[in-house]
Structure 1
Amino acid sequence: MARIAVLTGGSTPERTVALAGASQVAAALRGRGHEVAVFDTVEPAALDPELEQQRLGQVVGSRPPSLAELRALEAREDLPALVAGDLGSHDAVFLVLHGRQGEGGEVQELLEAAGIAFTGSDACGSRLAMDKDGSKGIPTPDWAMWPVSAEEVEALGLPLVVKPSRVGSTVGLSVVREVRELDGAVGRALTFDDQVLLERFVGGGEYTVGVLEGQTLAVGEIVPPGDIFDYHSKYTPGLAEELFPARIDDELTERLRRLGLAAHEALGLRDFSRVDFRLDDAGEPYCLEVNTLPGMTNTSLLPQSAAVVGISFDELCERMIRLALTRGRRQGSG
């Protein structure tokens, strides 16, 4: 048995998604005999049982929290103080965070400086996964960072995907089909991030590949109700189909698995990740995103990918925390 801190919440649009995952991760780890304390980044200490039940019992809505709610939450955060406090008294931290805080390397950097073991990739790998230049040799759609010239827009071609660079779950994302729509799309993205990415739209099938301990899991297929697997379709039950394993032939399955593992390794990631692809009209796969802290409810994509190869949700959580605990023991003996 180990003393585990589950760090969750955050002040990003994916806050309620993180809380939902933390609820199930905490239950899984407790079921495995671990002593678990849940920390919300907006609180100065571990949640007491009553507040934990209230906070983790929030339902993921079909819309993310409002900007006013997120700004109020951000004002309450003091991550350096949280890391310097009771968090460090635990054997390891299980990260259930999304967006810039969890996937941009901010929390990882603080934990590394404090010598605290944690799940998932280190700060460097997390930052690289948000950098389009990081995965050399992996096919990605042509892209540019805002602001762009008319010539750059023409070179990318329409339609374009416009999205906040460091926000997940397709929050603030738009598909631009005419140049006159571009300014409005950029404005929407800027409400969530000061870095905006423009990317050539790839309109074919959408697939996802889980990676765990250097091995790929099952390939999944996403069938959204529209062009994009957006926040509304992700978190509204029944709107999108998530099919594991994907309905594709063995050749494409193996190709996606190879590319998924190659992306994971090119970024120097560790432990686990989830790599998302779309096919173009010719059936060629393009990597859209590498998720260093993917969703962690038992119906999230990575756990579904693991389940197909015989890894239950509880076992997946146990394997993730065991990797962190092993690193912690090495740090302690070093």
Structure 2
Amino acid sequence: MDWGRGQGEGAKRKDALMRAAVLHSAVPPEAPPDEKDVLIQARCIGEALERLGWDVVFLPFHSDLGTMRQTLRRMGPDVVVNLVETVEGSGRLGHTAPALLDAEGIPYTGCPTEAVFCTSHKVLAKKYLTAWGVPTPAWFAPEDEPPPPWARKTLVIVKPVWEDASVGIDQEAVVSMADPEAWDRAVRRARNRFGPAGFFAERFIDGREFNLALLARRGGVDVLPVAEMCFEGFGPDRHRIVDYEAKWAEGSFAERHTVRSFSRAQEDGLLVERLSALARRCWDLFGLRGYARIDFRVDEDGRPWLLEVNANPCLSPDAGFMAAARQAGLDMDAVVHRLVEDASAPRPSRPNPVETPAVCEQETSYSADAAALSGLMLRTHLRPSDDEAVERITAETGFFNGEEIAVARDLARQSLSLGAAASGYFFILAEHDGRVVGYTCYGPIWGTAGRFDLYWIVVEPAWQGRGIGKILLHAAEEAIRCAGGRRVYVETSSRPLYEPTRQFYLHAGFAQVASLPDFYAPNDHKMIYCKTLGAAS
């Protein structure tokens, strides 16, 4: 693959007077190593720009936007390399740098303002990931809500909302709520350092960790070779995490024994394909540009969980992004050339993540013409008793055996326990006067681009024939569309009992795409139907 120009060959600009400003966080002398690292990035990128024929100036960014505006106008850069991650030591204001550049109409490298803001706020990013059907570990805000049931049964990791570079992450951040002293200590430390609204608790995924670096190219994006973070010699008393010590405490046990491996990751081809598909989807959904890094954990069952979307990750020579670039045959000059080329290209119009429609998490009324359906409500958040309602309705239809009924109930329980995005099972329930009278369940097909399974549409027998099935199907299709889904698959039986079901899907625009003979039993074939969805309305 042609990843880009290497060693600066043929990459010089015709006009050597073109000016590039390297905009970076202002770093005081007493700053910790995670903040000082941006100065290394700025120096290396500045040297690359000079080799590429640019006139380079450096500009520390601070919170006095009026002065920053005047300085930028005086410098008159043709492009800005935006390396701002923190402002006055806080990640909370990192998005103000691209916002100022947008206001001034100056082209800049990397992600746009909206993407920087939405991905920097980790809880906000997780809300969007959940709405879009991307698996991310369940979480809660200890200061705002009581711990959910799942949090009392597993380890959690206490993380800052805004900070990157593993700031605030150490071995004591991973705790069990069964140990009240450790839990209180972790919460107290986070509160004192980041403020009451500046931290959250996330379900800890004890598994493998992968980093996926993405780099823009003309007309698209490349996923660079995938890295796995290997925790060598970690005993049972040490959590397998890339904490602050592993990144910044040179010579420490964690730094020496947390090893990046590209060869090991490549041995799992199918898993790498699944992770790459999820990474590309996030690139599109968040409207990322230039470059990004997306971090995953993979649990013991092989399920991927997206931890963070890192817009404009570190470009220091020893950082993970540049390590992946070198695996792809790209040196610093080639990466910088790609970033500057992308910055100069027209920015396509795409939905702002803040405005992108998502799966509704509140109760909404459905306006129907039939008087019998007045008061019908649809909701997408499960309540603790909904697994019983799902079991009851499924059994009452008379269509399903005991094993199938148990499967429907267990899907609801998994969604309740782990959350919809984490479990992969999204429910929409139809209620009338507080009683659940129907439901549908759907979820993304892992490792695919915009493909979803529609697992169930079930309506209580007394409410069948009133259009509730069509309402639920329409709601599911809209939710799938909003989550980036483009094709929906449904499976059913070939038995005569299911003829109305097959006709229901055919009349709804599905087409039969396959038949698996004798799948369920002799002479009971699996019938597979598919529908292609249009753009979200």
Do residues 208 (structure 1) and 224 (structure 2) align?
A: no
Distance change >3 Å, CA 316–CA 198, structure 1 → 2: same
Partner of 1:55: none
Residue 229 of structure 2 corresponds to: 222
**Residues of 2 paired with 1:6 and 1:290: CA distance?**
23
Contact kept, 8 Å, 1:207 with 1:246, in 2: the verdict is no
| Structure-2 change in CA distance of 1:10 and 1:138 (3 Å) | farther
1:292-334, CA deviations, whole angstroms, 9 ceiling, x for partnerless residues? 0101112211111122122222100111012113349xxxxxx
Deviates more, 1:189-198 or 1:125-134: 189-198
Structure 1 residues 106 and 313, CA gap change in structure 2 (3 angstroms):
same
Distance 1:156 1:106, change over 3 A: farther
TM-score (norm 2): 0.51
Q: CA offsets per residue over residues 36-58 of structure 1, 9 Å max, x none?
A: 1111225xxxxxxxxxxxxxxxx
Inter-partner Cα distance in structure 2 for 1:267 and 1:246 = 29
Query: Are 1:102 and 1:108, in contact at CA under 8 Å, matched by a contact in 2?
Result: no
State the 1:215 CA deviation: 2.0
Task: Decide which moves more: 165-174 or 101-110.
Answer: 101-110
Q: Select the residue among 14, 36, 43 that pairs with 1:23.
A: 43
Deviations 1:182-231 (A, max 9, x none): 23222322313542121000110110111112221110011245521012
Q: State the distance in 1 between where 2:312 and 2:149 align.
A: 31
Would you say the 8 A contact 1:103–1:292 is kept in 2? no
Determine the structure 2 residue equivalent to 1:180.
181
Q: Greater RCO between the two (CA within 8 Å, min separation 6)?
A: 1
Q: Answer whether contact 2:79 2:108 (CA < 8 A) is retained.
A: yes
Q: CA RMSD in A?
A: 2.4
The match for 1:59 is: none
Contact 2:91 2:162 in 1 (8 A): no
Rounded to whole Å, the distance in 1 between the matches of 2:49 and 2:82 is: 13
The TM-score normalised by the length of structure 1 is 0.80
In 2 relative to 1, CA 233–151 (structure 1 residues): closer, same or farther, beyond 3 Å? Answer: closer
Distance 1:7 1:156, change over 3 A: farther
* In structure 2, C-alpha distance between the alignment counterparts of 1:315 and 1:80, rounded to whole Å: 34
Residue among 106, 112, 129 paired with 1:116: 106
Question: For 1:246 and 1:39, how far apart are their aligned partners in 2?
Answer: 40
When structure 1 is superposed on structure 2, of 161-170 and 20-29 the one drifting more is 20-29
Match of 2:340 among 314, 321, 326: 321
Contact 2:109 2:342 in 1 (8 A): yes
Which letter maps to 1:196? F
Task: Give secondary structure in 2 for the equivalent of 1:218.
Answer: coil
Task: Report if aligned partners of 2:111, 2:289 keep a CA contact under 8 Å in 1.
Answer: yes
Q: 1:198 aligns with which of 201, 204, 210?
A: 201
For 2:80, what is the secondary structure of its paired residue? strand
1:241 corresponds to which residue? 259
Aligned: 1:33 with 2:53? yes
Which residue number corresponds to residue 84 of structure 1? 70
Say yes or no: does 1:98 pair with 2:85. Answer: yes
Q: Deviations over 1:271-306 (max 9, x none)?
A: 221100011121211010011010111221111112
Over alpha carbons, which structure has the higher Rg?
2
1:165 aligns with 2:161: yes
What's the % identity of the aligned pairs? Answer: 28
Q: CA deviation at 1:260?
A: 1.1
Change in 2 beyond 3 A, CA 1:161/1:96:
same
> 1:65 maps to which residue?
none
Does 2:131 correspond to 1:145? no
Residue 25 of structure 2 corresponds to 9
Residue 306 of structure 2 is matched in structure 1 by: 287
Contact persistence 1:102–1:293 (CA under 8 A):
no
CA distance in 1, matches of 2:91, 2:22: 15
**Comparing 108-117 with 91-100, which one deviates more in the overlay?**
91-100
2:279 alignment partner, SS class: helix
Gaps in structure 1 of 5+ consecutive residues: 43-76, 329-334
User: 1:40 & 1:179 partners in 2: Cα distance?
Assistant: 44
C-alpha contact (below 8 Å) 1:303/1:313 kept by paired residues: yes
The amino acid that maps onto 1:115 is G
Counterparts in 2 of 1:80 and 1:256: CA distance versus 1, 3 Å? farther
Single out whichever of 19-28 and 161-170 deviates more from structure 2: 19-28
Distance 1:149 1:187, change over 3 A: same
**Structure ranking higher in strand proportion:** 2
Once the two structures are superposed, residues 44-92 of structure 1 have per-residue CA deviations (whole angstroms, 9 ceiling, x without a partner) of xxxxxxxxxxxxxxxxxxxxxxxxxxxxxxxxx4244213323661011
Distance 2:50 2:92 in 1: 23
Question: How many residues end up aligned between the 2 structures?
Answer: 294
Question: Which 4+ runs in 1 deviate beyond 3 A?
Answer: 10-14, 99-104, 148-151, 153-157, 245-248
